[in-house]
Amino acid sequence: MEAFHELVERHQTALFNVVLRTVKDPAIAEDVTQDAFVRAWRSLGQFRGGNVRGWLMRIAVNRAYDTLRSQKRRPADSLDAMEYEPRAQWSAGGAAPEHPEGHAVRRELSEVLERLLAKLPDDQRTALLLVDLEGFSYDEAAGIMAVAPGTIKSRISRARARLREEMRATTRDAELFDRFLRRDGDVLTRDG
């Protein structure tokens, strides 16, 4: 039990954030995450070792999809009403913005991206979140979604193409995006 609690502590945030963007409702996301861990606990005897994070995520993604299927209606823009306080994330992954304006652009762009992510087909969004948000490899994401790695590659490519198209569809969003690319351009070049 102690070891399982440790698993929960280590992985619940990752599961929750993917589930949240899938079911688009914080309360439902909490239920699904709880349910995923209960199922993991119950089927612990069947786990044969390997990537436990991937195993947990697979359970969570499946439960989220089950919930989507059983939902009568899909709430739109529920993330706007979320009570959750985001943890500071600028230090994770890419470089922090150099000045407040960059910070403000990033924050506004995040809101735009959440909205556009919600419009993606479920499979494309899930693949993108698993790889970009959670850092799974194509192979790991393929195992989680029970598809071939080539399918993951294709879904991510289509997701990005669609996001790019949507981002360019509105003048305001396109301006924000261009400012982000210009301001962070040198950082991206260094990382690339």
Partner 1 sequence: MEHLDPELLSAYIDHELPAADMAAVERHLAACDTCRAEYEELRGLSTLVRELPVYQPKRVIDVSAHPRGGSDTLAKIIAFSKPLAIAAVLLLVAFAGLRLLTDDEPDDGGDQISFSAVQPTEAGTEVAREASEDQAQDASFAEAPADSESMSEPPPPMGAMPARQSQTQATTEVVASAPEQQEAEAMSTPTPEPTAAATPAPAMEPEPVGEGNRWLPVAIVAAAIVALAGGAGWYRFVRPRRHGT
Under rule CB under 8 A, which residues in 31-60 are in contact with partner 1? Answer: 33-34, 36-51, 54-55, 58-59
SS3 188: helix
With CB under 8 A as the contact rule, the residue among 22, 24, 124, 143 that binds partner 1 is 143
Using CB under 8 A as the binding rule, whether residue 185 contacts partner 1 is answered as yes
Secondary structure (H, E, C), 110-173: HHHHHHHHHHCCHHHHHHHHHHHHCCCCHHHHHHHHCCCHHHHHHHHHHHHHHHHHHHHHCHHH
CA separation for the pair 22, 28 (Å, rounded): 10
Of 6-35, binders to partner 1 (CB under 8 A) are 8, 12-13, 16-17, 20, 26, 29-30, 33-34
Cβ 103 to partner 1, closest distance in Å?
11
Of 144-183, binders to partner 1 (CB under 8 A) are 144, 146, 153-154, 156-157, 160-161, 163-164, 167, 177, 180-181
Nearest to 133 by CA among 14, 5, 2, 42: 14
Of 67-96, binders to partner 1 (CB under 8 A) are 69, 82-87, 89-90, 92-94
CA separation for the pair 96, 20 (Å, rounded): 25
Of 98-137, binders to partner 1 (CB under 8 A) are 106, 109-110, 113-114, 117, 128-129, 131-133, 137
